[in-house]
């Protein structure tokens, strides 16, 4: 049985971590290859006969790729997002797509907290100015008090839940959330959180933190119109997927005072383009898509990858929560979903 890492140079997984996965796979009778393909055609040519494809980043596993690889049975993502994989085609063809929901939820909440507080307290701006030789004592934007603000969570999954614990439990911040997929049972567990529409979240929030997957529904949902509906002193934090925000519209909103600031771990184009206006804005914090990077999350990530495929091929057992294309279940009678 052969499994192939198709983007070993993406930068999110080390050679030592791939060594650990290779050892775990070998015990299950799976041979692991490490490749880095730049196109669909390269992936098709290089993955013929493979049982599984492993994506450390977001490789283009399209319908074209899937239909050209009839022996493929599994795709393993090293993260939560699966927007570069055609889930409909995978399910139709009986290919099970694994992802890792929740593996870095605490780290994402911690990063969002760091960005919020840095923007509120001007810490990044002051650090930049001091390094230039300036001393802007009690200058720049007057910091507000997070205890008197409203934090709007766009998406109430694991990371959003951890972030509300930090701000509601630690500061007493008012929390609202827009997530039409949250059940009434979950809402009852958080009686102090008001669940609102997207428009209400835009209008009421002093801070908006994004915690959703990239889907046709969420693509560019934060656009010029959305920014115009936000408070002028509001800030936006994105630790989910870059294209949830229309980046050109965000630059316009910041340049024209429609919102106060932004903290971005993810961008529409990564790495960021050298002429991007966000690079020259003092009220913007940029991270290189490293929100999942942490001691606990790395340990959990590699543990899960080491276990999922071997358990599927040796015992026929698959955790249902790790199946991203759940429409495949009807065609996967040979496996026990637990």
- Which residues belong to the active site? 241, 270, 289
How distant is the alpha carbon of residue 87 from its chain centre?
17
In 3-state terms, what secondary structure has residue 148? helix
In whole angstroms, give the CA distance from residue 126 to residue 132: 10
In whole angstroms, give the CA distance from residue 118 to residue 124: 6
CA torsion sign for 326, 302, 59, 182 is: positive
Q: DSSP secondary structure string, 298-332? A: HHHHHHHHHHHHHHHHHT-EE-GGGBS-GGGGGG-
Alpha helices by DSSP H, listed for the chain, are 15-27, 40-46, 63-67, 87-92, 105-121, 123-131, 158-164, 170-171, 184-188, 198-204, 224-229, 247-255, 295-314
167: which DSSP letter?
Answer: I
In whole angstroms, give the CA distance from residue 279 to residue 125: 13
Per-position b or e across 156-185, b if 16+ CB within 10 A of its CB: bbbbbbbbbebbbeebebbbbbbbeebeee
DSSP 3-state helix, strand, coil percentages of the chain (rounded to 5)?
40, 15, 45
CB-based contact 176:150 (threshold 8 Å): yes
Q: DSSP secondary structure string, 92-138? A: HTTPEEE--TTTTHHHHHHHHHHHHHHHHHTHHHHHHHHHTT---TT
In whole angstroms, give the CA distance from residue 228 to residue 221: 13
**In which order are the strands placed within the sheet that holds 96-98?**
31-34, 2-5, 52-55, 74-77, 96-98
Q: Which residue has the tokens 């709007």?
A: 152
């Amino acid at each position: 049985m052969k499994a192939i890492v198709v983007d070993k140079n993406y930068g999110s997984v080390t050679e030592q971590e791939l060594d650990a996965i290779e050892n775990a796979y070998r015990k299950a009778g799976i041979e692991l290859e490490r490749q880095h393909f730049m196109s669909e055609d390269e992936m098709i040519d290089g993955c013929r006969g493979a049982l599984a494809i492993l994506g450390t980043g977001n490789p283009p596993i399209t319908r074209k790729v899937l239909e050209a690889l009839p022996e493929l049975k599994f795709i393993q993502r090293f993260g939560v997002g699966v927007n570069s994989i055609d889930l409909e085609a995978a399910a139709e063809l009986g290919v099970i797509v694994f992802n890792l929901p929740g593996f870095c939820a605490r780290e994402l909440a911690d990063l969002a907290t760091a960005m919020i507080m840095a923007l509120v307290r001007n810490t990044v701006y002051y650090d930049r100015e001091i390094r230039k030789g300036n001393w802007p004592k009690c200058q720049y934007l007057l910091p507000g008090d997070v205890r008197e603000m409203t934090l709007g969570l766009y998406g109430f999954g694991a990371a959003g839940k951890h972030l509300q614990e930090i701000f509601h439990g630690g500061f007493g911040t008012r929390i609202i959330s827009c997530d039409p997929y949250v059940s009434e049972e979950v809402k009852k567990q958080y009686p102090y959180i008001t669940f609102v529409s997207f428009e209400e979240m835009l209008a009421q929030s002093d801070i908006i933190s994004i915690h959703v997957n990239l889907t046709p529904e969420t693509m560019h949902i934060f656009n010029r119109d959305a920014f115009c509906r936000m408070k002028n002193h509001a800030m936006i934090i994105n630790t989910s997927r870059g294209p949830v925000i229309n980046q050109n519209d965000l630059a316009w909103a910041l340049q024209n005072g429609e919102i106060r600031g932004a903290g971005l771990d993810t961008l529409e184009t990564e790495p960021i383009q050298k002429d991007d206006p966000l690079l020259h804005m003092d009220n913007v914090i940029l991270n290189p898509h490293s929100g999942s990077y942490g001691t606990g999350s790395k340990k959990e990530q590699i543990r899960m990858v080491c276990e999922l495929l071997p358990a599927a091929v040796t015992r026929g057992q698959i955790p249902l929560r790790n199946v991203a294309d759940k429409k495949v279940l009807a065609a996967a009678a040979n496996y026990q979903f637990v």
